[in-house]
Amino acid sequence: MSRPKVIISVDSLHDGGAEMFAIRLANQLANICDVYFMEFEAGASQEKKLLEKLKPSIPFFSPDKHWLMVSMLFLQKQFGLSKILSALSFRLKLILIDRYLRKHEILVINSHAIKQNYTFGLLKAKLTSLKFVLTLHGHYELLKSENLTLFKASVTQVVNFVDELIYLSDEQLNNFKLAGFDTQKATRILNGFEIEKRVSMPSDFNKNFNTPLSLMIHSRAIPEKGWKEAIEAFFILKKKGYNIMLTLVGTGEQYGALKEQFSHPDLLFVGFSNDVFEHIRTADIGLLPSYFYGESLPNSIVEYLSFGIPVVASNIGAIAQMLKVNDDLAGDLIETSKGIPVKSEVLSAIIEKYIIDKNYLSFKRKLAFEAFRKFEMTHCIEAYKSLLFNANA
């Protein structure tokens, strides 16, 4: 009996949580089915380091790399984005993806971004046997904050074509519900994470408080992720004489400016890291003082929790649910709203609790291990397997 086939697609290989999860999902699903991976718009990102995380055995497809698309994109660059060239380019990409799906007899397409979804809707109309599963990551919420008219049009374009909707937060589901989507076809599945290297269990934890308290932020270096506020909180605590250090991992538009503006021996700018877990395992507290409109279920928080690292993060998206353990939290929340920067003084005061009370960190660390259980990859894969292949088993 042939194995089911699925193609997992991202807009482009940006260094982001949605893209990283799509790759992790592809790698795990490859154990039980034939998986293909597609980058829909290659030119939208310059760095392709995330591709190194994809299993070499998984076929990679980018329609923009076909010689016809390369020629078309060259003409667009030379003569501008005329309506005729844009229409021809879109039509050509539709044909190339259609041929690829037919050639490999792919019956399921799982989208993890936004730009490609209208195209997949058109393919679904042509290929009636194709199953279109849309996984939400916060892209629509970001578009809603930037262009409400375009957001409404984008959601309306796809609601009638989506066979299954996978969402992470109530906000995401409500956006589709308001557009008339049948919520019976919607399922909440938390992003899974496979622990590659087990760390010490909570009972083995014994923080040496003679060493610096290690803070870490791992995200894209964009203003809305709160890097500047985290750095300012670091300096507030340093001025109080506390023994702390802050490691910042990731790249983005703000990275160079922040690195140039702020300097301290205990402030480490790492940039992109091929092994971010080596940095996480040495951290005591994970930070995410985000006010990003697209924030839903941040990948970095899942990574922190998997290593038993408590998290200090903004109370936006589904972050509170991520940290919840019974009636407690595997960290602390900063009260803010999307689009409103957190206050550095508030962030520093929360971190100060971990410095002053030696038992507080140990207690929150134990909760972090508990909070992670809901993100174990086995739960995620079983849920995806059921939704992706129940009509094609």
Q: What tens digit of pLDDT does each residue of 25-57 get?
A: 999 999 999 999 999 998 888 778 888 889 999
Dihedral (Cα; 172, 173, 174, 177), 10-degree rounding? 130
Six-digit token pair at 228? Answer: 């500047």
Quote the pLDDT of residue 196.
60
Quote the pLDDT of residue 200.
47
Six-digit token pair at 297? Answer: 């279920």
Q: Cα–Cα distance between 324 and 200 in angstroms, integer?
A: 21
Which of 42, 374, 392, 2 minimizes the C-alpha distance to 188?
374
Residues 6 or more apart whose Cβ sits within 8 Å of residue 69: 63, 89, 92, 93, 96
Quote the pLDDT of residue 104.
96
Q: Cα–Cα distance between 273 and 216 in angstroms, integer?
A: 13
Quote the pLDDT of residue 197.
52
Quote the pLDDT of residue 393.
38
Domains parsed from the chain with CATH numbers: 5-192+376-389 (3.40.50.2000), 202-375 (3.40.50.2000)
Q: Cα–Cα distance between 216 and 283 in angstroms, integer?
A: 6
Six-digit token pair at 388? Answer: 């992706």
Task: With a cut of 50, list the residues of the chain below it in pLDDT.
Answer: 198, 200-204, 391-393
Quote the pLDDT of residue 392.
44
Quote the pLDDT of residue 273.
84
Quote the pLDDT of residue 87.
84
Q: Cα–Cα distance between 126 and 67 in angstroms, integer?
A: 24
Which of 225, 224, 231, 262 minimizes the C-alpha distance to 247?
231
Length reported for the chain? 393
pLDDT digits (tens, 9 = 90+) for 257-281: 999 999 999 999 999 887 888 899 8
Which of 202, 197, 200, 232 minimizes the C-alpha distance to 217?
232
Q: Cα–Cα distance between 134 and 141 in angstroms, integer?
A: 15
Q: Cα–Cα distance between 224 and 291 in angstroms, integer?
A: 5
Taking the complete model, does pTM exceed 0.75, yes or no? yes
Q: Cα–Cα distance between 337 and 334 in angstroms, integer?
A: 10
Q: Cα–Cα distance between 299 and 282 in angstroms, integer?
A: 18
